Chain A
Amino acid sequence: MTHVQAIVVGGGPAGLAAALRLREKGIEDILILERETLAGGILRQCIHDGFGLTRFGESLSGPEYAQRFIDRVAQEGIRCVADTTVLDISSDKTVTAVSRKRGLMQFQADAVLLTMGCRERTRGALAVPGTRPSGIYTAGVAQNYINLQNIMVGRETVIMGSGDIGLIMARRLTLEGAHVKGVYEVLPYPSGLPRNIEQCLNDYGIPLYLSHTVTEIRGRERLESVVVAQCDERFEPIAGTEEEIPCDTLILSVGLIPENELSLAAGVALDARTRGAFVDEHCQTNVPGVFAAGNVLHVHDLVDFVSLEAEQMAESAAEYLNAGSLPACCLEVKAGADIGHVIPQRISGTRDFTLSLRVRKPMRNVTLVLAQKDRTVKRVRLRKALPAEMIQLTVRKADLCEDADLEVYVE
């Protein structure tokens, strides 16, 4: 068994940023384990631009954004072992991994940084009725085939769900000569970012149908058609509104799920709302020395924020490695009215921290309130608040007291 100070599980945007910040904070012995041949994570297949506006002040493609981190990791001489899949992480931070070159490896880590990203929700998880023909792809899988393997998945396309990758793929498929017949979103508002609705749908004349969903899949071999219907406020199809749409391809963009199988193996407790770990303001999970950031913690809207969060995690991990422990976080952060989730779920009350959250529904001209007991910690006026957009704010220790939970709600 090899001893390593810090193991970073996954060399995507979160893992790369975390490793770099660890090094900046003086951690020498860092190992990134990456299952793909090349680092960069999902950004490798995101060939569209729009990445890095916040962080670098310019619009980059996914591979360009990733490359900036990959180059620096190489310059810093940080070890990144590719083609290596982590099989298990135990609660005592033993990491078991395998690769064809190196065989089965076991490491004993002082700190484990979980940066595995997320996966796509599938048709099976939604139990969409109908047959099971070929021609049904999640948006990310279609993106991989088209952008990395140069192969087309189909011609006449319907998109279910208005998640960002689905919107991106609506444009991508159109540019490749496929016909995108429409995007059907069960919610009364889009799941994806406004800029993607504009640039990927409106600019190409692709219709978006809100409060609509696919109610049946037809075709025994290749997909032949889908039935779509309008939905009521409980997301149930409204009888009589069904319409059959001939198509050979159905792209699903119906949500992302943090990929926490390894976290569970390590004994990390998960939040049912984010489906990521419960973390404190140090991005530390309930397992001491195990940290999480990026999409494995909660699904982000922009990669810029993934990098940022991972860097904050790395600072805490470095502090943990140098000091042996981190200040206790005994105060709970509670998601109140109209708040979907909050990160972190626990704080110390003695330090500044970044609060990330999503609202439950689209709202205009509302006030976001942070309160401890009856005391207002912070009030933020929001001109608009969309579930598609993550909201982040810095909370100052000067505004916090040390003896009451923090409640976050929309007034």
Chain B
Amino acid sequence: MRDYDVLVIGGGVVGSAVARELTRYRLKIGVLERESDVCTQTSGRNTGMLHAGFLYKPGTLKAKCAVEGNGEFDRVAKELDVPFRRTGKLIVGFTEEHRRRLLAMIERGRENGVPGMELIDRARMDEIDPSAGGNFAVFCPTSGILDPFLYTIALAENAVHNGADYHLYTNVTGAARLDDGRIVLNTNRGEFSARWVVNSAGLNSAVISEMLGIPGYRIQPIKGEYFVLDKKAGVFAKIPVYPAPTERNTFDTHATPTVDGNVLVGPNSFPVEDGEDYSVSRSGMNGLQESGAKMFRHMKREYYIRTFAGARPKRVDPQTGEIQDFLIERRDEVPGVINLVGIESPGLTSALPIARRAVRLIEEKERLIPNDAFDPVRRGIRRFHEASVSEKRQLVAENPDYGEIICRCETVTRAEILAAIHNPLGVTTVNGIKVRTRASMGRCQGGYCEMRITAMIREELGKAAEDVRLTNGRSFMFTGAVKGGEQA
């Protein structure tokens, strides 16, 4: 049995933020992540928005955490070396009904403490982004875009840097309590114990909550599908463009530039039974083509490079089905459990504010001793592509691996791939390299680099071909050598 002070179940953006915030104290922290990496589920399957906080009911945790998280993100992005741009956002309308809703939204934003929102006309819209659809819009200056993979990875790496342990491929299957009150977690990789357990299991947070002794929550996954568009379309997308909120105060399909210069079109939004079914449907894609074109005038087939889907784990009232706020709780009758249930959008924006609230709940019960060695700074992999010509010259001169281009579309070098293969979390999948470097995220989708990356994984980590995985579980890529051949 491996013993910890705190065990965090789920290494997504919230779990990793909790782990990172806990390393500010002298605690032994373990994170149990079921998958091959920290951003394979909800944390990596979203729009990558830094929300401003104008959509949520005043006084809710969603409103408070989003505004708090938004306000501090320039510092956070710098500290953790996360690609981030404060682009602002347009929420566009076509009809008088839309205008009414947009005005109500400005009012709500004001109540929540979102600064600078204003209603603007088409002329102003054209100044901001002529490719945006709509006749008028709300401009919100504080919204931004970030790389959700790298933010999650950065939090996790910073947690590891400050002493936390990450256990990948570790699925919690049960929980029990020892006589001294410590909680034992059973997993496919043996038993773990801790004084505190934080449930940040996302789509499975209700299941884990029940396992830990707090039954009665219900998670309704709301699925959304997306198109990823080529950077050739990205040159037209200056700012995220959202439609006016629906009657149910949610957003339909939007078009959002990514920090790397692509465009995301989506998501649609519909309830599903199985939140981990990430397939995209023909009908969904057809719908996105139509609704996406309303938001983004360059929504064209020739720009498609990929589709994906994600699910928002919404906590709903088990009786009425009504959507509820984030849940951040500690119950006296179930000591040692911090429960984070129904953390969905704006969870990316709210991850650190939620984490601080979770830490506070622990602090209310025991004195936490500051960790003087805590270092909030994490450095990412230096990107060749983003360097100037003279910097590139310097990089290659210092490290010849920067002179070997592995991913043609995104100009990712051998040096970056090597750094990603030897990442602090011990992730070994092809997808893990992808989200850390952008290799294979371009228009040829790995046609040039995948074979080089799999060869490097085999070489660097001493793996046989059949042990290389694309991503989770049994996602093997090769079945072995050719007839009578030796693997090259």
Question: Known contacts A100-B414, A131-B278; can you find 5 more A-B pairs with CB under 8 A?
Answer: A85-B408, A99-B404, A124-B305, A145-B478, A152-B478
Report A81-102 CB contacts with B as 1/0, cut-off 8 Å.
0010101000000001011111
Q: What are 27 A-B contacts defined by CB distance under 8 Å?
A: A87-B392, A87-B411, A96-B389, A100-B396, A103-B397, A103-B400, A122-B305, A122-B445, A122-B447, A123-B445, A125-B304, A125-B443, A127-B285, A127-B307, A129-B280, A131-B277, A134-B471, A134-B476, A135-B477, A150-B488, A151-B465, A152-B481, A152-B482, A177-B483, A215-B282, A221-B472, A237-B282
- Whether a CB of chain A sits under 8 angstroms from the CB of B320 is no
Who on chain A is nearest to B394 by CB? Answer: A104
A-chain residues with CB within 8 Å of residue B405 when the two chains form the complex: 35, 85, 87, 98
Report B304-323 CB contacts with A as 1/0, cut-off 8 Å.
11111000000000000000
A152-B479 CB under 8 A given contacts A122-B305, A123-B445: yes
How far does the Cβ of A96 sit from chain B's closest Cβ, in whole Å?
Answer: 7
A150-B487 CB under 8 A given contacts A85-B408, A221-B474: yes
Q: Which of B428-452 contact A (CB under 8 A)?
A: 443-448, 450-451
Contact B306 A124 (CB under 8 A): yes
Contact A127 B304 (CB under 8 A): yes
Q: Which of A66-122 contact B (CB under 8 A)?
A: 83, 85, 87, 96, 98-104, 106, 119-120, 122
Identify which of A96, A129, A176 contacts B285 (C-beta below 8 A).
A129
Identify which of A104, A120, A124 contacts B304 (C-beta below 8 A).
A124
In the complex the two chains form, what is the Cα distance from A132 to B405 in whole Å? 26
Identify which of A135, A145, A222 contacts B451 (C-beta below 8 A).
A145
Contact B282 A98 (CB under 8 A): no
Instruction: Provide the main secondary structure of the chain A interface.
Output: mixed
Q: Which residues of B contact A (CB under 8 A)?
A: 227-228, 276-282, 284-285, 304-308, 389, 392-393, 396-397, 400-405, 408-409, 411, 414, 443-448, 450-451, 455, 465, 469-483, 485-488
How far does the Cβ of B56 sit from chain A's closest Cβ, in whole Å?
Answer: 32
Contact B477 A104 (CB under 8 A): no
In the complex the two chains form, what is the Cα distance from A215 to B296 in whole Å? 27
Identify which of B445, B448, B473, B482 contacts A150 (C-beta below 8 A).
B482
B-chain residues with CB within 8 Å of residue A145 when the two chains form the complex: 451, 478
Binds B, one of A136-144, A343-351, A367-375: A136-144
A-chain residues with CB within 8 Å of residue B414 when the two chains form the complex: 100
A222-B476 CB under 8 A given contacts A85-B405, A85-B408, A122-B445: yes
Contact A100 B400 (CB under 8 A): yes
Who on chain B is nearest to A249 by CB? Answer: B479
Contact A98 B403 (CB under 8 A): yes
Contact B279 A129 (CB under 8 A): yes
A-chain residues with CB within 8 Å of residue B448 when the two chains form the complex: 119
B-chain residues with CB within 8 Å of residue A124 when the two chains form the complex: 228, 304-307, 445
